Amino acid sequence: MRDSRFVFALLLGVLTVLALLSHPAHADEEIRPRPAAPLSPGFRFTEATGEELFASACQGCHMPDGKGAIGAGTYPSLAQDSNLESGGYPVYVVVRGQRAMPPIGAMMTDAQVAAVVNYVRTHFGNQYQDAVSADDVKRVRPERYPR
């Protein structure tokens, strides 16, 4: 008598566990498509001024005094650089990259690229006062880069 009660209780327990495991809500979750994970926006510079942007994005290669360096690579001097006379050239190099110079402007907004280019063109012995604008930057962006 005591034995059959025990077997009954045991069966009841096993059935309860099985019922819980196969609960329809549980099965639903497996089938329902998960919401698409948002794409990573990637790294973006947060600095706003040309000076800050130069410090965080450029001086690692071009050096704090803008004079560049020769060692593991050749990083040209931006000091007294007549190549900066036309603002479109540094805008293009920063946005698109050029040989060993990475397209670092891809991680900046148009306004940030303009700010850092204007900073370089008016510091380190450069005195090009005709500032470039965010629109000048927008014009050289390849389509695949987010703005």
Establish if 100 lies at the interface with ligand HEC (CB under 6 A): yes
Per rule CB under 6 A, is residue 120 in the interface with ligand HEC? Answer: yes
Residue 90 lies near ligand HEC (rule: CB under 6 A): yes
Q: How far is the CB of 133 from ligand HEC (least distance, A)?
A: 16
Kindly state whether residue 94 participates in binding ligand HEC, applying the rule CB under 6 A.
Answer: yes
Of 131, 129, 127, 123, whose CA–CA distance to 67 is shortest?
A: 123
Report the C-alpha gap between 145 and 97 in whole angstroms.
13
- Rounded Cα gap, residues 136 and 57, in angstroms: 20
Residue 83 binds ligand HEC (CB under 6 A): yes
- Virtual torsion, Cα 97, 122, 82, 62, nearest 10 deg: -50
Interacting residues toward ligand HEC by CB under 6 A:
57-58, 60-62, 73, 75-76, 78, 81, 83, 90, 93-94, 98-102, 104, 116, 120
